[in-house]
Amino acid sequence: MEIHVVQRGQSLWSLSQQYRVSMQDLINANGRLSQLAVGQALVIPTPRRTYVVKAGDSLNSIAARFGTTASSLAAQNQITSPGQLYAGRALRVPRPTRRTIDVNAYLTDFGVKGEQTVQEMGPVITYLSPFSYHVGTDGSLTPLNDTAVLNSARAQGVAPLLVISNWEGSMFNSELGHTILNDESVQQTLINNVLNTMKSKGHRGLNIDFEYIYPYDREPYNQFLQKVVTQLHAEGYLVSTALAPKTSATQQGLLYVAHDYPEHGRLADFVVLMTYEWGWIGGPPMAVSPIPQIRRVLDYAVTAIPRNKVLMGVSVYGYDWTLPFVPKQSRAQTLTPAGAAQLAVTNNVAIEYNTTSQAPNYQYVDSQGRRHQVWFEDARSFQAKLDLVQSYDLRGISFWSYPTDFPQVPSVLTDNFRVRRL
């Protein structure tokens, strides 16, 4: 596939002519495209991995674009002289060897929309993680009505993971975490309930998402994790954890201290780094997952956790902030990537792309005269994150969260990697 940024005056029809693909293929790869916004990133499906030569192209520039060599490109297309490379010629591009990665997707809807998501994403995910079974102070689990999505996942060869969390009400509860981590009887009850649920529902493993744990519960958390791993491994189950995006071993804050990267890296089969929410619903406008901040997390993570155990978190949403931002008062609205692009079309504004954060954004004025700032994800920002997975040689990625409307994900993902199937 190729990523094209829409220029002024371009339409779905003109792009289909330019790239010699059908309008329906463009729609299939990008979702609803009744109108296009200037600056919108589109995935261009290239049948048999083809590329149409443009004025100024050379074998070297085309090869660099697709991660191959000029000699391989020439051999693939029987090019023996410069005159055979001309604008408008369709070249077959050799596919580079793709590495196999693990892909996890957290799911927050277990109804019809959730089932549809599993059907659509099934071919490009390794694990499905319905979020979440809430842990009680007595070690009980609040059940989920997730049987349909789990059945759908298994039917497609996707491995379901049981996610447990210290979520209570509308947030993570530190005191609940403290109770669980400091009572061995409650812990054993919890582990028994986890095992019984996984056996009855056919999970492949466990994902522990304990957040906002008190700093003094760091060692109790490590000891609990050791106990979980010992018992679940004996039954043949995988164990993974979700970790806050730390940039150093000494990082302070309720979100960070109790997450011991080296111990989780030693004990768990893999970890999910929650590399998102720098731009968040109650914070000032900025990219949700800016590349420089993710790099800082990865730079530390790979010193503490084996690279082949790291799943990098990938956000699949954006936010719309009403300006001016007022601390402790302003609340952004969540947008899907496709919804954000359509909002730009509706308000007739161009989408910009911040090359530092590697994220699309724009501003618009609503019908009440209020100014808005939007940051979201698109094919370019997703590609930038996959480039990090490649350069850091990570185990894979973990999406937070589905369902969403981001139809470009499968094309971009499979153009870069093969997805492991269990």
Kindly write down the DSSP assignment for every residue of 7-63, as one continuous string.
-TT--HHHHHHHHT--HHHHHHHH---SS--TT-EEEE--TTSEEE--TT--HHHHH
- What CA–CA distance (Å, rounded) separates 77 from 60? 14
CA angle 360, 363, 36 (to 5 degrees): 60
Q: Which parts of 33-183 fold into alpha helices (H)?
A: 59-66, 70-76, 112-121, 147-155, 174-181
- What CA–CA distance (Å, rounded) separates 409 from 406? 6
Q: Kindly state the DSSP code that residue 420 receives in the 8-state scheme.
A: P
Which of 152, 125, 180 lies closest to 417, judged by CA? 125
- What CA–CA distance (Å, rounded) separates 362 from 372? 8
- What CA–CA distance (Å, rounded) separates 334 from 341? 13
- Polymer length in residues for the chain: 422
The residue annotated as part of the active site, out of 211, 219, 263, 377, is 211
- What CA–CA distance (Å, rounded) separates 324 from 321? 8
CA angle 82, 85, 90 (to 5 degrees): 160
Q: Is 168 among the catalytic positions?
A: no
CA angle 24, 28, 146 (to 5 degrees): 150
- Three-state secondary structure call for residue 279: coil
Location of structure tokens 């400091």: 182
Q: How many CA atoms lie within 13 A of 421 on its CB side?
A: 11
User: Which residues does the annotation mark as catalytic?
Assistant: 211
